């Protein structure tokens, strides 16, 4: 135990990773072990200088902390170190990979929905790992069929069952020492998986994120959870039907089976969209070619809709509905920056989650 509070600290060297963010508060896990007898986590604000230059702080950012108050576990973020990667949805910096989780049953694995998520994940620069849960609910034969089918798509999924504790060691190998975004539709076992891998946390399991339950615990905020042997996991609930907002010309590259063709040969036209153009090397009898055509139509529609309404872009956002219809919706209006009361500054992050309104949470980052 360190009974004497250190008087001189080289604060320039104090570096940590932001593991949670709510409004103007950031929870930072320190990399150094020197103060582990006191606080490994500091609740931090952002230096005014950073606000002035418009430097945002994201979950996953490595930051420099100044003026640590070891007694209260407080500090101030003075600098954000350069990001290796940056995702907007969910907003996470420095993630290494995406762990895409689907269930084989309950809900039944839907190849179209799975493909939407796969394409979305492929369109980031992050590595992708596909994990299929609830293998206890299907037969060996069915599992093998999925394995072969997905192999044709270009994937080698990890089959797991959380209720039977199957396949988890295999999965852990992928997660250690990495920042991983856990993604997938609701009900597939993402929260159960995180609870299993990190026994000290207790995420709510079995909640379907319907309209009324889209509270900030379940959908809006991102938090990084630390694996017992190193590595961070981000739960990213709340996107059930990812938007395909990629460039139409890039779409084929997000299908591994099409990408393999493009890497071997070229289409006659460099801007080939692989529809009816002559001498196209992508068009063909691969299983997901029809999905490619549908997703391409979505991507083109979305792009031309954005072009038609450039002025509205700032106050409106384009949403693609489940039906495929597009619609502009107003973005959340951000409130003016408000000074926080002393009481509020002394709340901990957990209380803040409970008390903040959505607008407050988003006022800063819009």
Ligand X SMILES: Nc1nc2c(ncn2[C@@H]2O[C@H](COP(=O)(O)OP(=O)(O)O)[C@@H](O)[C@H]2O)c(=O)[nH]1
How many residues of this chain bind ligand X (CB under 6 A)? 16
Binding flag, residue 22, Zn ion (CB under 5 A): no
Would you say 44 and 76 are in contact if contact means Cβ atoms under 8 Å apart?
A: yes
Among 51-59, 83-91, 140-148, 189-197, which window interacts with Mg ion (CB under 5 A)? 189-197
From 240, 237, 216, 255, select the one nearest 321 (Cα to Cα). 240
- What does each C-alpha distance from 116 to 183, 246, 292 come to in angstroms? 12, 12, 10
Binding flag, residue 187, ligand X (CB under 6 A): yes
Query: Which does residue 134 touch among Mg ion, ligand X, Zn ion, none (CB within 5 to 8 A, set by kind)?
Result: ligand X
Q: Which of 27, 115, 191, 363 binds Mg ion (CB under 5 A)?
A: 191
Would you say 168 and 161 are in contact if contact means Cβ atoms under 8 Å apart?
A: no
The four Cα atoms 165, 167, 170, 176 give a dihedral, to 10 degrees, of -40
Q: Which of 54, 82, 199, 206 binds ligand X (CB under 6 A)?
A: 206
Query: Which does residue 260 touch among Zn ion, Mg ion, ligand X, none (CB within 5 to 8 A, set by kind)?
Result: none
Binding flag, residue 205, ligand X (CB under 6 A): yes
Query: Which does residue 99 touch among Zn ion, ligand X, Mg ion, none (CB within 5 to 8 A, set by kind)?
Result: none
CB of 191 to Mg ion, least distance (A): 3
- What does each C-alpha distance from 268 to 188, 258, 271 come to in angstroms? 42, 15, 9
- Please name the residues in contact with 211: beta carbons below 8 A apart, sequence gap of 6 or more: none
Q: Which of 12, 34, 163, 260 binds ligand X (CB under 6 A)?
A: 163
Of residues 282-311, which lie at the interface with Zn ion (CB under 5 A)?
282
Q: Which is nearer to Zn ion, 150 or 280 (CB)?
A: 280
Binding flag, residue 218, ligand X (CB under 6 A): no
Binding flag, residue 119, Zn ion (CB under 5 A): no
Q: What is Dmax (Cα atoms) for the chain?
A: 77
Task: Give the x-and-dash track for 97-136 against ligand X (CB under 6 A).
Answer: ------------------------------------xx-x
CB of 265 to Zn ion, least distance (A): 10
Q: Which of 77, 272, 299, 349 binds Zn ion (CB under 5 A)?
A: 272
Of residues 130-159, which lie at the interface with ligand X (CB under 6 A)?
133-134, 136-137
- Please name the residues in contact with 262: beta carbons below 8 A apart, sequence gap of 6 or more: 252, 253, 281, 282
Angle, alpha carbons 231-158-150 (nearest 5°): 130
Would you say 238 and 214 are in contact if contact means Cβ atoms under 8 Å apart?
A: yes
From 157, 154, 155, 156, select the one nearest 263 (Cα to Cα). 154
Work out the number of other CB atoms within 10 angstroms of the CB of residue 40. Answer: 16
Two tokens, residue 151: 């192999």
Among 23-31, 125-133, 141-149, 190-198, which window interacts with Mg ion (CB under 5 A)? 190-198
Among 42-50, 181-189, 302-310, 338-346, which window interacts with ligand X (CB under 6 A)? 181-189
- Return the DSSP state at 218: I
Query: Which does residue 199 touch among Zn ion, ligand X, Mg ion, none (CB within 5 to 8 A, set by kind)?
Result: none
What are the backbone angles phi and psi of residue 182, rounded to the nearest 5°? Answer: -90, 120
Report the interface residues with Mg ion, using CB under 5 A: 190-191
Report the interface residues with ligand X, using CB under 6 A: 133-134, 136-137, 161-163, 186-192, 205-206
């Amino acid at each position: 135990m360190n009974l004497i509070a250190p008087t001189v600290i080289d604060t320039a060297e104090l570096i940590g990773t932001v593991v949670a963010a709510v409004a103007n508060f950031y929870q930072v896990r320190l990399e150094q072990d020197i103060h582990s007898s006191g606080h490994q986590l500091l609740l931090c604000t952002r230096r005014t200088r950073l606000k002035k230059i418009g430097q945002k702080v994201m979950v996953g950012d490595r930051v420099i902390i100044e003026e640590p108050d070891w007694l209260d576990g407080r500090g101030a973020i003075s600098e954000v170190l350069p990001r290796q990667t940056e995702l907007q949805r969910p907003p996470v910096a420095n993630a290494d990979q995406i762990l895409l989780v689907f269930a084989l049953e309950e809900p039944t694995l839907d190849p179209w929905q799975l493909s939407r998520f796969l394409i979305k994940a492929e369109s980031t620069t992050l590595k992708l790992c596909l994990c299929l849960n609830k293998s206890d609910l299907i037969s060996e034969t069915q599992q093998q069929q999925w394995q072969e089918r997905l192999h044709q798509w270009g994937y080698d999924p990890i089959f797991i069952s959380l209720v039977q504790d199957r396949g988890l060691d295999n999965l852990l190998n992928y997660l250690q020492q990495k920042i991983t975004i856990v993604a997938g539709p609701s009900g597939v076992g993402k929260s159960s998986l995180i609870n299993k891998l990190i026994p000290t946390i207790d995420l709510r399991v079995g909640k379907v994120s319907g309209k009324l339950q889209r509270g900030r615990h379940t959908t809006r905020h991102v938090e990084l959870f630390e694996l017992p042997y190193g590595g961070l996991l981000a739960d990213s609930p709340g996107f059930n039907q990812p938007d395909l907002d990629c460039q139409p010309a890039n779409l084929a590259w997000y299908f591994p089976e099409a990408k393999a063709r493009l890497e071997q040969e070229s289409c006659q036209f460099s801007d080939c969209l692989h529809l009816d153009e002559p001498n196209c090397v992508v068009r063909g009898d691969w299983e997901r070619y029809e999905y490619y055509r549908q997703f391409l139509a979505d991507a083109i529609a979305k792009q031309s809709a954005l072009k038609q309404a450039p002025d509205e872009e700032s106050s409106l956002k384009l949403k693609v509905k489940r039906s495929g219809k597009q619609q502009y919706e107003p973005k959340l209006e951000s409130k003016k920056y408000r000074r926080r009361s002393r009481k509020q500054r002394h709340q901990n992050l957990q209380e803040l989650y409970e008390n903040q309104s959505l607008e407050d949470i988003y006022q800063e980052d819009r």
